[in-house]
């Protein structure tokens, strides 16, 4: 098969610059996910769950490869930086719980918080880019949804075992991780470089490709809130947590 024709009508220098950053963030996020699932495999004693974590890590690797290949096809020079300002902090938080072999914390951070942002933002990107790249984002969003669903049952069981203890723990995880994601997705441009975007912060340039950081953030928080609902976290608790996030 010959190289497929891409139907971008987003060929301006500015648009390609934004797309470079969008792909860079997506690839970095997938590699963070891959690393987290790999670390999680070491934090689990149950052999089936251990294998599942490895499988999820491989799935994230494939997503990263897919994004990389597509970016290359578009001639985008992506930047991958797992130690950037926000991604690095997220990874360190995750590792602190993995080191304690805290499977529930690892699930909550990776499969609820990070995946909620990934699924929502990939869906927004996919819908905005009405082309092959868009389809790829949408299809990966669908696959990431399965990771979210995987965690729900575990977390629900854990909540039923000891509700007060679970809510206290989840609140701590929310404060640890969601605070970083909320800062990352603030509608104002990042004051310091996130270490992934290749030039200035891409947020204010997103409209060039039909995106808007305000609605992307809003949709991500919405999906996160729904994920908490599915676990069974009371609304009066989750709204307090969300209301206290950085704005």
Partner 1 sequence: MENEAHIDFAVIGHQDNWPSVQSIINGMRSGENEPLTVAQIKGTFSYIPPRSIFKMTAKSKTGKTVNGVYIETFIDPDELTPHFLRKNINKVNEAISVALKHKSKIIALGGFTSIVLEGNLSQFDTSSSKITTGNTLTSAYILKGVTDAILKLNKRLQDCNVLIIGATGDIGSACTHYLSSKVKGLLLNARNGRKLEAFAQQFTDTSAEIKWNTRLEELIPMADIIICVASSASIEIKDYKKQVVICDAGYPKNLDTKIEEGNGTFVFHGGMGTVNYGYDFKPDYREHFYNYPRPHIAHGCILEAVVLAFEGKYENFSSGKGNIKTESIDKIHELSVKHGVELAPFYNSKGLCEISLPKSSKG
- The answer to whether 243 contacts partner 1 (rule: CB under 8 A) is yes
Question: Which of 147, 140, 145 has its CA nearest to residue 63?
Answer: 140
Per-residue binder mask for partner 1 (CB under 8 A), 158-177, x = binder = -----xx-------------
Nearer to partner 1, 50 or 226 (CB): 226
- The answer to whether 238 contacts partner 1 (rule: CB under 8 A) is yes
Figure out which of the listed residues 38, 177, 225, 231 binds partner 1, where binding follows CB under 8 A.
225
- The answer to whether 210 contacts partner 1 (rule: CB under 8 A) is no
Nearer to partner 1, 19 or 221 (CB): 221
Nearer to partner 1, 86 or 224 (CB): 224
For the CB of residue 32, give the shortest distance to partner 1 in the complex, in Å: 24
- The answer to whether 203 contacts partner 1 (rule: CB under 8 A) is no
- The answer to whether 229 contacts partner 1 (rule: CB under 8 A) is yes
For the CB of residue 206, give the shortest distance to partner 1 in the complex, in Å: 14
User: In this chain, which stretch among 56-64, 84-92, 96-104, 217-225 interacts with partner 1, using CB under 8 A?
Assistant: 217-225
- The answer to whether 127 contacts partner 1 (rule: CB under 8 A) is no
Measured distance CA(23)–CA(28) in Å, rounded: 8
The owner of tokens 């360190």 is 92
For the CB of residue 12, give the shortest distance to partner 1 in the complex, in Å: 28
Nearer to partner 1, 30 or 124 (CB): 124
Measured distance CA(68)–CA(21) in Å, rounded: 12
For the CB of residue 199, give the shortest distance to partner 1 in the complex, in Å: 25
User: In this chain, which stretch among 6-14, 28-36, 89-97, 220-228 interacts with partner 1, using CB under 8 A?
Assistant: 220-228
Q: Cα angle at 66 between 197 and 52, to 5 degrees? A: 105
Binding interface with partner 1 (CB under 8 A): 163-164, 187, 214-215, 217-219, 221-222, 225-226, 229, 232, 234-236, 238-240, 242-244, 247
């Amino acid at each position: 098969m010959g190289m497929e024709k891409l139907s971008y009508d987003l060929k301006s220098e500015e648009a390609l610059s934004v797309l470079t950053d969008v792909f860079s963030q997506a690839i970095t996020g997938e590699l963070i996910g891959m690393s987290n699932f790999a670390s999680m495999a070491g934090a689990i004693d149950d052999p089936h769950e251990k294998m599942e974590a490895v499988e999820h890590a491989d799935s994230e690797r494939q997503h990263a490869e897919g994004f990389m290949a597509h970016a290359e096809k578009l001639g985008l020079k992506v930047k991958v930086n797992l130690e950037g300002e926000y991604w690095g902090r997220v990874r360190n938080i995750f590792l602190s719980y993995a080191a304690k072999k805290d499977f529930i914390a690892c699930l909550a951070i990776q499969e609820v918080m990070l995946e909620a942002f990934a699924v929502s933002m990939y869906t927004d990107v996919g819908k905005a880019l009405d082309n092959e790249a868009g389809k790829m984002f949408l299809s990966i969003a669908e696959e990431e949804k399965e990771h979210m669903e995987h965690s729900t049952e575990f977390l629900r069981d854990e909540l039923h075992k000891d509700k007060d203890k679970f809510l206290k723990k989840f609140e701590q995880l929310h404060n640890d991780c969601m605070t970083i994601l909320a800062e990352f997705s603030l509608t104002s441009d990042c004051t310091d470089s996130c270490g992934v975007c290749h030039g200035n912060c891409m947020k204010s340039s997103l409209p060039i490709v039909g995106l808007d950081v305000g609605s992307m953030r809003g949709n991500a928080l919405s999906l996160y809130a729904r994920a908490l609902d599915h676990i069974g976290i009371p609304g009066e608790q989750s709204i307090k947590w969300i209301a206290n996030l950085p704005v």
